[in-house]
Structure 1
């Protein structure tokens, strides 16, 4: 796939390589870590609430800063949420319930970024892919998504014990980091920058300094 919109599409597909969602893989781990069925149901409900919230947040964010920058922001939100949760998970490995709780909080928070990022990348793809190749493009995109999802299941087939769950966890975090890097590279080549230095300088009270450098 050599289309200019391949980077946002591939970045979105890579996110399917994850066990950090409230699907069977993570639920099995939570139950083995001391969570009750009621607690799992409660955190899943909260996760869905954050995902629904993204349908309100995303349009507002896109209207303010555009889909490209909104995707960059939401991708980083997702990454740092999962990094924070994974840090707690790794720090309390001797206390399974606390470790699992860290993953739960990080995963719930990340859903806001995930759904916003997904919406933004789809908008970018729809705007940039020509009508005559949309069918082919969508088929390839779907194939990549399925391939990465299969890899996520493969990871828990290989590392099937609860005490090995940290391997799929870090694989999932790495996938999100890869997606953010792919999209950041797309933004860099498209705009030549990731941040607006003159705006950052203005925030820091250094606007004149940046003006002189220019």
Structure 2
């Protein structure tokens, strides 16, 4: 199965798509929880999530426009470039004012007992009728100073801005790579290749979940952002390799077709000259 997958022309692009699943840069429960730990009100998070959904739906329209202008392969390159740029923006947020990122401090003070306590708490479920105590008291945002709970919002807002842009790039890339898989993979092995692709995507998604369980502290969320950025750039490089491979292959095919056409033209000219000589010889005899 893996050999069949690897032999496909679109294998590198498909693997690049699978790498995008090892990410915390999606507007799921992880991002919402991170926003709450930074003191953001739920109505603000809900508004940003709605905006993200609208941007994601607009990706289908932008995708069709770009495909008509530059073709499906280069549209995929644009989508992955947008994702990588947004991932860089999210990585930058880990070092901006207001960020809880403190991996060095965390690991310096870390003990096995502390880590096990955090790990155990991460696996516990709150009772259904209980009221959870928030890490920070949720209050309104002070927009003139761009602070919440007296802490700068620059980091978390930059992170959410990166998430919004990332959704646009992800859906453009997903549509492009999926279309190329459908067009290039033979129908009799399409199910096998799709199965391997789904397994790879699940593997990277589960890897992300395991990292979240092992590193549950908000101080370490910056490490998960950096790991996600690394995978996003890996997906871009994998797609660039596919693009160069297909361009080289198509250039070689065009050169072969041109060479064949030249040879065929030469044979036609030779046969025409021979027929002319035969006709002239008959005229002389006559």
TM surpasses 0.5: yes
5+ residue gaps, structure 1, are 193-214
Partner of 2:31: 26
Number of the residue aligned with 2:222: 166
Within-5 A mapping of 1:1-214: 1-2=5-6, 3-92=8-97, 93=99, 97-192=153-248
| Runs of 5+ unmatched residues, structure 2 | 101-150, 249-286
Q: Deviations 1:18-67 (Å, cap 9, x if unpaired)?
A: 11111111111110011111111111101101100101100110111111
Q: Match of 1:4, SS?
A: coil
- Distance in 2, Cα, partners of 1:23 & 1:89: 19
Q: 2:94 aligns to what SS in structure 1?
A: helix
Shift in Å, 1:85: 3.1
Distance (Å, rounded) in 2 between the aligned partners of 1:96 and 1:138: 45
Query: 1: CA distance between counterparts of 2:181 and 2:13?
Result: 7
Structure showing the higher helix proportion among its residues: 1
Give 1:152 shift.
1.0
Alpha-carbon distance, 1:97 to partner: 3.2
SS at match of 1:90: coil
How far residue 188 of structure 1 moved from its aligned partner, in angstroms, is 1.2
Deviations 1:81-135 (A, max 9, x none): 2212321332223656321111100110121111001000001100100000001
Alpha-carbon spacing, 1:134–1:107, altered in 2? closer, same or farther (3 Å):
same
* Corresponding residue pairs, total: 193
SS of the residue aligned with 2:23?
coil
TM-score of the aligned structures, taking structure 2 as reference length: 0.65
Structure 1 CA distance for aligned equivalents of residues 152 and 239 of structure 2: 34
Take 2:170 and 2:217, find their aligned partners in 1: how far apart are those partners?
A: 27
Instruction: Measure the CA separation in 1 of the matches of 2:35 and 2:237.
Output: 30
CA contact (8 A) 2:87 2:228 kept: no
Tell me the TM-score normalised to structure 1 length: 0.86
Runs of 4+ off more than 6 Å? none
Q: CA RMSD of the aligned region, Å?
A: 1.5
| Secondary structure at 1:91 match in 2 | coil
Change (3 A) 1:96 1:185: farther
- Indicate the structure whose relative CO is greater, using CA pairs within 8 Å and at least 6 residues apart: 2
